Amino acid sequence: MKILHTGDWHIGKVVNDFSMLEDQEYILQQLFDIIKLEKPDAIIISGDVYDRSIPAKEAVELLDDTLTTIIEKYQVPTFIIAGNHDSQERLSFASKLLSHKGLFIEGTLTGETRKITLKDDYGVVNFYLVPYSHPAVISSVYNIETINNYQEAFTVILNKLKSKLNTNERNIFVTHNYIVSNVDEIIASDSERSLSIGGADYIDVSLVEDFDYVALGHLHQGQKVKKENIRYSGSLLKYSFSEVNHRKSVVIVDLNEKGNCTYALHDLKPKRDMRIIEGELKTLLRPEFYHKFNRLDYILAKLTDTEDLYDPLNRLRAVYPNIMQIERNNIITNVESVTKAKGDYQNKSKLQLFSEFYQNIIGKKMSDKGERLLKDVLDETKLGDIL
């Protein structure tokens, strides 16, 4: 059985006031191309289908068109679970009716993990769908008051599921959670919404190691967790500048007889990439600089100029129409050091204090010419006599 694993679509997402709908529609066309090429027997979308619990009309229409194409045109059974960005109840709407068409949506957690079974030449393949739920919800569903964190909550779900699990069959587990082996090995990004505070959202990977494949959602960089068969598919697109070096892809899983499973990645190429450019303003505006890449990309410009700049955003936007952010590296890098004067500031002259301030902000010492000009200004304002 061939399975296409994807997730974290975040349909309707807005990044720095830029709607990503056009980019998402573009990338979903690539998904159709992959479906035509690979001809999967099943598709898994492992949560965060929408970016908001109440998505915009345009986001709903795009998802509707996409799922209709997958089910009606390509006729591929598709499994969807809710993520932490989704509204579980809204995503579940008409799920019982849609299951007859081969679209299986599990939005709301119940006391019994939903199991759907498909068949191939090697026998049955069981898909177990566990949508994202907060520990308090899991505590209520299972009527257990002692649940305090995600690890304990997930243990309750898995213990009940495993009591009925036939390990002689091939079993696929689908969930949207922060499942880890070593936290330091996980590649996270700024666009992922934290599930809790202080690491209480981590779930140990040992709980899911009995499954033949684990299709995870939540982390936006595609990656395995301890084993090849436990994977985050990653998001469809880059949704923050912390993801500029991420490789966006979908996972193709070839599930043969029990214990025989292989994997391949299909890269996704965005209409507009996310890119960080750095240098002085005049450099970034030169054709020999921006002709090296697609200037229609979403841009974060890190300006290294030390002098004042006139309207840098609009000047850059004339060349990079999709610029999202400007950052003055020298100021941000030294922001902590400018909050107070160093040392015995009460016995320092105003010239010394301003020279220290200048160095903290600009990142280098004031020139002799600059100090002379400053002293002249202070003298003219009748402050020279106290220097």
Q: Is 5 helix (H, G, I), strand (E, B) or coil?
A: strand
Domain that holds residue 279: 274-333
Instruction: Name the domain boundary from 311, 333, 355.
Output: 333
Domain check: are 241 and 329 in the same one? no
Domain check: are 77 and 62 in the same one? yes
Q: Is 45 helix (H, G, I), strand (E, B) or coil?
A: strand
- The pLDDT, as a whole number, for residue 198 is 46
Instruction: Name the domain boundary from 291, 310, 333.
Output: 333
Domain check: are 178 and 305 in the same one? no
Domain check: are 247 and 293 in the same one? no
Closest residue by Cα to residue 151 from 110, 78, 98, 204 = 204
**What is the band of 354 on the pLDDT scale with cuts at 50, 70, 90?**
confident
- The pLDDT, as a whole number, for residue 194 is 64
- Residue pLDDT, tens place only, 129-187: 999 999 999 999 999 988 989 999 999 999 999 999 999 999 999 999 999 988 777 77
Residues 278-285, mean pLDDT to the nearest whole number: 96
Domain check: are 263 and 278 in the same one? no
- The pLDDT, as a whole number, for residue 293 is 95
Domain check: are 103 and 70 in the same one? yes
Mean pLDDT of the chain: 89
- The pLDDT, as a whole number, for residue 363 is 53
Q: How far apart are CA 160 and CA 169, in angstroms?
A: 18
- The pLDDT, as a whole number, for residue 387 is 47
Q: How far apart are CA 293 and CA 191, in angstroms?
A: 24
DSSP 367: P
- The domain tally of the chain equals 3
Domain check: are 50 and 181 in the same one? yes
Q: Edge-to-edge, what's the strand order for the sheet holding 323-328?
A: 274-279, 298-303, 323-328
- The pLDDT, as a whole number, for residue 343 is 53
Q: How far apart are CA 320 and CA 186, in angstroms?
A: 33
Q: How far apart are CA 106 and CA 114, in angstroms?
A: 8
- The pLDDT, as a whole number, for residue 377 is 82
Domain check: are 239 and 346 in the same one? no
- The pLDDT, as a whole number, for residue 26 is 98
- The pLDDT, as a whole number, for residue 331 is 45
Domain check: are 77 and 223 in the same one? yes
CATH number, domain of 202, equals 3.60.21.10
* DSSP E strands, the chain: 2-6, 14-15, 18-19, 42-46, 78-81, 103-106, 114-120, 123-130, 170-176, 178-180, 202-204, 213-217, 223-225, 227-232, 249-255, 261-267, 274-279, 298-303, 323-328
Q: How far apart are CA 102 and CA 12, in angstroms?
A: 25
Domain check: are 255 and 287 in the same one? no
**Any idea which of 17-31, 72-86, 363-377 has the lowest mean pLDDT?**
363-377
Query: Phi, psi (5° rounding) for residue 64?
Result: -60, -45
- The pLDDT, as a whole number, for residue 335 is 33
Q: In the chain, which residue ranges form alpha helices assigned H by DSSP?
A: 21-38, 57-68, 88-91, 95-99, 135-142, 150-162, 281-284, 287-290, 312-317, 329-333, 350-362, 368-380
Domain check: are 351 and 306 in the same one? no
- Is the pLDDT at 333 greater than 60, yes or no? no
Beta strand 202-204 pairing with 170-176? unpaired
Domain check: are 291 and 246 in the same one? no
